[in-house]
């Protein structure tokens, strides 16, 4: 699998990442083992998890599999901290919480460091400089090799990167930002992606298949065993089962038929090769699904197909993002 530099850093990662959102909950250990082995054998290196996935079970499971199945040195291991199971406070970006969460993640993963550590979301209740100090401590102590953020909007990403450049003694620079990005969700193109490109921050798209909807499997209802049929994940999928999504999925299916490939391959190749994207994170539930995603390695979409998909999925961008400078 092709390797790409993560943003403006020396870290190289596979241009498709393996996500573990469902591990330890909807994905059992034998399925996770099959996926990790298939990913590794295909040349995949970037494996993404978080301390809250499966209430920590995803990290435990990944740690066990690294111990007996895939050498730790062959993986670029990414995890996240900052989300908390508290209805009164969804995110905690305090230095104390973040560092404690990192140490707990390392214990569950059975390693002394992660290659990439993300702040899971912006916490308006904590000064941003305190949150960023946690990143600096993690990197300077060797517990994280690189650091990034997740779910930061454009101004939050720009503020964080600017503070790091200006703060005396700060050695850590943002390597990445993880955001949802697909043909069904192009909101990052308004401000996040331009900021990331300008700052040299690599974009790691999550849900690149539109939460599974872009595979076409929901065109005729919600199939049994899918995320849309899962009690706790159905609300995650439901927003993308509207008329707008149907129109985009139909266009993806038409393109796939013309190229003699699958809708999954078309949707994943489109986001993988967007400017500023380093590696989409694919959250397959089974090894069969992952193998289908990995088969996109040989596919490059023709320019006319990309333009057609761009047009049918184009988000509405008006003032202040467009037009005002030409008036």
Task: Extract the tokens encoding 125.
Answer: 């209740």
Q: Give 232's DSSP letter.
A: T
Comparing CA positions, the residue from 7, 62, 55 lying closest to residue 29 is: 62
**Is the separation of the CB atoms in 111 and 66 below 8 Å?**
yes
Q: Give 100's DSSP letter.
A: H
Query: CA 279 to CA 120: how far, in whole Å?
Result: 17
Comparing CA positions, the residue from 222, 176, 178, 183 lying closest to residue 201 is: 176
Q: Which of 53, 122, 146, 218 is catalytic?
A: 53
- Cis before 223 (ω within 30): no
Question: Counting beta carbons within 10 angstroms of the beta carbon of residue 154, is it exposed (0 to 12), middle (13 to 18) or buried (19 or more)?
Answer: middle
103 a catalytic residue: no
Through-space distance between the first and last CA atoms of the chain, rounded to whole angstroms: 46
Q: Give 167's DSSP letter.
A: S
CA distances from 89 to 97, 160, 259 (A): 13, 21, 47
CA torsion, ordered 177, 179, 181, 186, to nearest 10 deg: -100
Q: What per-residue string of b and e applies to 294-326 under the rule 16 or more CB within 10 Å gives b? A: bebbeeebeeebbebbeebbeeeeeeeeeeeee
Indicate which residues carry an active-site annotation: 53
């Amino acid at each position: 699998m092709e390797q790409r530099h993560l943003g403006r850093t020396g870290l190289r990662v596979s241009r498709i990442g393996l996500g573990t959102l469902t591990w330890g909950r909807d994905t059992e250990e034998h399925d996770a083992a099959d996926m990790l082995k298939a990913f590794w054998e295909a040349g995949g290196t970037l494996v993404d998890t978080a301390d809250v996935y499966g209430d920590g079970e995803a990290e435990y499971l990944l740690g066990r599999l690294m111990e007996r199945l895939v050498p730790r040195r062959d993986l670029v291991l990414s995890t996240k901290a900052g989300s908390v199971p508290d209805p009164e406070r969804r995110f905690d970006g305090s230095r104390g919480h973040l560092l404690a969460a990192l140490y707990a993640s390392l214990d569950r993963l059975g390693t002394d460091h992660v290659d990439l550590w993300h702040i899971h979301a912006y916490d308006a209740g904590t000064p941003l400089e305190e949150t960023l100090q946690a990143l600096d401590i993690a990197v300077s102590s060797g517990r994280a090799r690189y650091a990034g953020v997740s779910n930061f909007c454009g101004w939050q990403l720009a503020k964080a990167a600017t503070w790091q450049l200006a703060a005396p003694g700060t050695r850590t620079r943002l390597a990445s930002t993880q955001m949802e990005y697909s043909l069904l969700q192009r909101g990052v193109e308004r401000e996040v992606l331009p900021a990331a490109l300008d700052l040299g921050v690599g974009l790691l798209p999550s849900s690149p298949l539109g939460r599974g909807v872009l595979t076409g499997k929901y065109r005729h209802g919600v199939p049994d065993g899918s995320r849309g049929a899962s009690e706790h994940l159905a609300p995650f999928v439901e927003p993308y089962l509207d008329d707008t999504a149907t129109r985009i999925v139909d266009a993806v299916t038409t393109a796939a038929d013309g190229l003699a490939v699958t809708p999954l391959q078309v949707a994943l190749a489109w986001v993988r090769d967007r400017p500023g994207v380093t590696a989409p994170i694919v959250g397959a539930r089974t090894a069969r699904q992952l193998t289908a995603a990995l088969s996109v390695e040989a596919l490059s979409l023709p320019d006319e197909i990309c333009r057609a998909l761009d047009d049918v999925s184009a988000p509405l961008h008006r003032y202040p993002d467009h037009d005002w400078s030409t008036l």
